[in-house]
Amino acid sequence: MRIGTALLNGQPAVVAAASDDMAAAVHAFDSMETLLAAPRETANAIVEEATASAPRFAVAELTWLPPVPRPGKVLCVALNNSANPDRIISGPPTPALFTKPTTSLTGHDTPLRLRASYGRVHPEPELAVVIGIGGSDIPHDRALRHVYGYTVFNDLTSPTLRAEDTFHYRAIHPSDSEPDGVRYVESWVTYPARYKGSDTFGPTGPWIVTADEVADPHALRIVCRHNGQIITDDNTANLRFSVAEVIAFVSSYMTLETGDVIAMGTALRRANSGGGAVQNLDLVARGGTVEVEIEGLGVLRNHVEHR
């Protein structure tokens, strides 16, 4: 089952894929959050009835919103690709995460609104998980039961803004020798609000594909294209930490809620066609159209619009 959110008569509405080219309105749910919170069998039956009898719309003519327009949180797993260990000088043996604000999200076929002042901005093609059943302290062997489905995500990133928001400073720590004393430790810290969370830095969708239709989330080809040329051609088999590992780890620190989105990390492997590294694709300078395609989930397409 494929479900998404689009504007119908100017209002957000849940839609479901009736075919590759047509979508049906699912008016029984006033939002994606309502559908995700409903009992799974009940929701499935309502969606199936809608795809059989509800008014249909051409997929290509819809105005798309993110599938979950306002998730409680968007979590992103950093450096979660098997290509990264050779690049990591030091780091944790567990998943490391950052968040994106919901205002960074944008839908399929909508513009990426970029400013020259952002400097270099590049795409990061990723598989994303949509949480169905929330919880905390979720055990690894039950983690996939909490997944409602999967979608396509593009984690836009500005290395220029990252550099601007990086501090090299002396952190204050308790003294090792004096009970009331302090010591200074040379440190580096970067704050990701701008370089990961600016408006339209989180294209998502168009569809959530339910988990029952994804036999193995770790065996999906993922491709990123710019103006039709393949830049990266990778596979989710190369994720360092699996979906179950990430859910179990994250939920031991923060409660996962229905509708939360977890982006699993960037597909990095360069295409054999010579597309170059994804980090070299400067969307501010080159503009154009970016596509992220994940096997079985569909194509997420966005074009650059200079602000």
pLDDT 10s digits, 104-137? 999 999 999 999 999 999 999 999 999 999 999 9
pLDDT 10s digits, 285-301? 999 999 999 999 999 99
Confidence of residue 81 (pLDDT cuts 50, 70, 90): confident
Q: CB-based contacts of 225: which residues, under 8 Å, 6+ apart?
A: 231, 290, 291, 293
Query: Which of these, 267, 172, 162, 264, lies nearest to 225 by C-alpha position?
Result: 267
Confidence of residue 26 (pLDDT cuts 50, 70, 90): very high
pTM given for the model: 0.95
Q: What is the pLDDT of residue 89?
A: 82
Q: What is the pLDDT of residue 277?
A: 81
What is the mean pLDDT of the segment spanning 72-81?
Answer: 95
What is the mean pLDDT of the segment spanning 144-167?
Answer: 98
Task: Give me the architecture of the 68-306 domain, per CATH.
Answer: Alpha-Beta Complex (3.90)
Q: Between β-strands 298-306 and 111-114, what pairing exists: parallel, antiparallel or unpaired?
A: parallel
For the chain, domain boundaries? 1-65, 68-306
pLDDT at 275 over 70: no
What is the mean pLDDT of the segment spanning 164-185?
Answer: 94
pLDDT at 48 over 70: yes
Q: What is the pLDDT of residue 137?
A: 98
Q: CB-based contacts of 226: which residues, under 8 Å, 6+ apart?
A: 123, 275, 281, 286, 288, 289, 290, 291
